[in-house]
Structure 1
Amino acid sequence: MKTEQHNSLRILQWMMAASLAFPVALFVFAAANSWISTNDIADREIERTLDVAHEHALKVFETIDRSLSEVNEIVRNRSDDDLRASSDAMSARLKQLTDALPQLKSVWVFDNKGRALVNSLNLALPHIDFSDRDYYNAHIAEDIGTFIGASLLPRPPYQGAPFFGVSRRRASADGSFTGVVQASVFPEYFEKFYARIGRAPGSFFALGLSNGTILARYPLSGAAKQIDPSGPIGRRIAAHPGGNLITIVAPGDNIERRIGYQRIAGYPIYVSAGLETSAIRDRWLKAISYHLIFGVPATALLFGLLLFALRRTRRLNFEAMKRREAEEALKHGQRLETLGQLTGGVAHDFNNLLTVIRSSVDLLQRPDLAPERRARYIAAISDTVNRAAKLTAQLLAFARRQTLKPEVFDVGQCVRSVTDIIGTLTGAPVEIITHLPDKPLHVDADLGQFETALINIAVNARDAMKGEGRLIITVVACERLPSATMPRKDGYVAVAIADSGSGIPADQFERIFEPFFTTKEVGQGTGLGLSQVFGFAKQSGGEVTVTSEVGKGSIFTLYLPRVADGAGPTLVVDEGAPADGNGLSVLVVEDNRDVGTFTTDALRELGYMTELKHSADAAFDELKRHAGRYDVVFSDVVMPGTSGIELAQAVRHLYPDLPVVLTSGYSHVLAQNGTFGFELLQKPYSIEQLSQVLAKAGNWRKSQREAVS
Structure 2
Amino acid sequence: MLRLLRAMLVASVLVPSVLFAVIAWRDYHAVVAETERNMNKTVQVLHEHLHKIFDTVQQTLDRVDERTQGMSWDEIARSESVHVYMKTLDDELPQVGVIALIDPNGFTRALSRAFPVEPPTNVSDREYLRVQRDHDAGLFISEPVIGRNTKARQFNVSRRRSGPGGPDGAFNGILVAALHADYFKDFYSRVLPGGEESISIVRQDGTVLMRVPEIPNANPARLSPGNGLMQASARGAGEGMYRNVSQVDGIDRLYAFKRITPYPVYVTYGMPQTEIMATWRRNMLLYATFALPATLALVGITSLAMRRARSEAVAMHRWAEEVRNRESLEAALRQSQKMEALGQLTGGVAHDFNNLLTAALANLHLMAPHLPAPGARYLDGTRTALERAKKLTGQLLAFSRQEAVDPQVVDLADSLRAMDDLLERSVRADIRLDWDLDPGPQRVEVDPVQLEMAVLNLVLNARDAMPDGGRIRISSRAVADPEPGVEDRGAGAVVLEIADTGTGMPPDVAARAFDPFFTTKSMGKGTGLGLSMVYGFARQSGGTARIESAPGRGTVVRVALPATAKCPAADLPMPEAAAGATGPVRLLVVEDNALVLMATVEGLVQEGFEVMTADHGAAALELLEQDSAFDVIVSDVVMPYGVSGIDLARQVRERWPRIRVLLTSGYSPESLTGLGSDTVVLPKPFTPDQLAARIRALLRPATVA
Instruction: Name the TM-score, length of structure 2 as normaliser.
Output: 0.38
Q: Answer with 1 or 2: which has the greater Rg.
A: 2
